[in-house]
Structure 1
């Protein structure tokens, strides 16, 4: 019988635990199947004699990975939907000692902005009366396999480009079926125009906006056939600019009417792989919230 050093067994067990917890989520994302060695190590992890929990081991493994922030910092004047007012920020307390008090001063600000501000989450209720609000989105819907469709070269040639089913089929030919429960994002590199609002909207002399968007055939395939949990993009809207110029938001309405949420104004998608990463999509929990700035990041494989 082959003897394995105790320290080595613990390391193998930690990796195996990560496989068992994460691999089912990443199935279809080009991941390798669990090896017999991993299965043996998993059993060893279950009987962890050090008393360390499997989640603690997974945490240690995750901390060794690269994290990529997919979120813009928000402030007054950033690109936003033209119908929304700008953000205002007021400092209401500073570090100076407050007169008549014994305590030291502190820094506190008052923010005023719409829910759809900066990188933000749109829950179903944003478009659908009676739909789920932000506080009704389960936390299990916030840790997801990340699927990235890279169409930035096509967008470079045509700013009005909308993703096609062929783009998705090409992804699946390389990585396998889009995994159920995924967070599907479209890389266009449009975020490189941030924070220039004029460049983001990209209007011509007639006032028509020209920026890329999703397509109904792709969204229906991803949500109905593949069962993804959410989707996201770098532009201010789900629909392409030529449609939103006409006040047409049928694609965003489709996603939200399916009882799913979306994330708008993502960034740094050029720093994550097409498959194999995890997405952590978080946002505050306002009661009955119609939207709010989000913090989204990727954990690379």
Structure 2
């Protein structure tokens, strides 16, 4: 091999700032918003720390905690077995590590969502974006920016629910099917509490992003932040879920590499 290796070039670019690391992860704490299902269903636990010791008689030189959390709390990764359509597919520990680093495109619908929190992305929106930019990346992520991360400090504002249910943006059923079954991407990333729209319980099928994506051996990333710092094309996403055996997902540290 002549010339510097690709990895040495990357390390140098990270050191001199020509490649920036953007953290897409929401901080994980007891105040992190969690999804609320109808009361007849099981509910996820919010994140919580339980102190083991803190430089005291329980452990004089060390501080550490136990923690409890739902698999799908905070910024998290949805594995195929999370949904009944993917029940015989991979758990989160079985997701190939090579699929956790992938290119990404960012489609910006903040203006539409500011006018209508129930806004739905449709196939024509994606095709129009592709015509003006590039095709969706094969084996990459489709990230949908809606500005919803600005609400993430408040459970009430983040879920945006009233007597008719939550009102958050997402995808139409046909768009979810198209992304899962016809597009080349490996997964969908969003800023909301889940990949589906707030009204998706009443869609056909219910929760179509989960149903189609998981059933197609694809993935979800949710509660992302800082998508505003990414370009429409050219970023590389690194998703790091815990490899929980038999797990349906995991809180994840999600980073993006961006050329500056």
Shared fold by TM > 0.5?
Answer: yes
Q: Which residue of 2 aligns with 1:77?
A: 31
- 1:98–1:105 Cα contact (<8 Å) kept: no
2:71 to 104, 107, 115: 115
Q: Which residue of 1 aligns with 2:12?
A: 60
Q: What are structure 1's unaligned runs of at least 5 residues? A: 1-45
- 2:167 aligned with 1:210: yes
Aligned residues: 248
Q: Which residue of 1 aligns with 2:49?
A: 89
Q: Residue 184 of structure 1: CA displacement?
A: 0.7
Higher relative contact order (CA 8 A, sep 6+): 2
1:185 to 136, 143, 160: 143
Q: Residue 195 of structure 1: CA displacement?
A: 1.8
Answer with 1 or 2: which has the greater Rg: 1
Larger helix share, 1 or 2: 1
Which one is further off, 139-148 or 207-216? Answer: 207-216
- 1:97–1:105 Cα contact (<8 Å) kept: no
Q: CA RMSD in A?
A: 2.0
Cα-to-partner distance string for 1:58-102 (whole Å, 9 max, x where unaligned)? 322244312211100111132111122323211101123658xxx
Q: Residue 53 of structure 1: CA displacement?
A: 4.1
- 2:188–2:195 Cα contact (<8 Å) kept: no
- Distance in 1 (CA, whole Å) between partners of 2:30 and 2:10 is 39
Which one is further off, 283-292 or 219-228? Answer: 219-228
- Distance in 2 (CA, whole Å) between partners of 1:252 and 1:93 is 40
Q: Residue 203 of structure 1: CA displacement?
A: 1.7
Given the superposition, is the C-alpha separation of residues 97 and 203 from structure 1 closer, same or farther in structure 2, using an over 3 Å criterion?
closer
Q: What are structure 2's unaligned runs of at least 5 residues? A: 37-42
- Distance in 1 (CA, whole Å) between partners of 2:244 and 2:254 is 18
Aligned pairs (5 A) from 1:113-192 = 113-127=69-83, 128-192=86-150
- 1:187–1:269 Cα contact (<8 Å) kept: yes
- 1:79–1:200 Cα contact (<8 Å) kept: yes
Larger strand share, 1 or 2: 2
Give TM-score, length-normalised by structure 2: 0.88
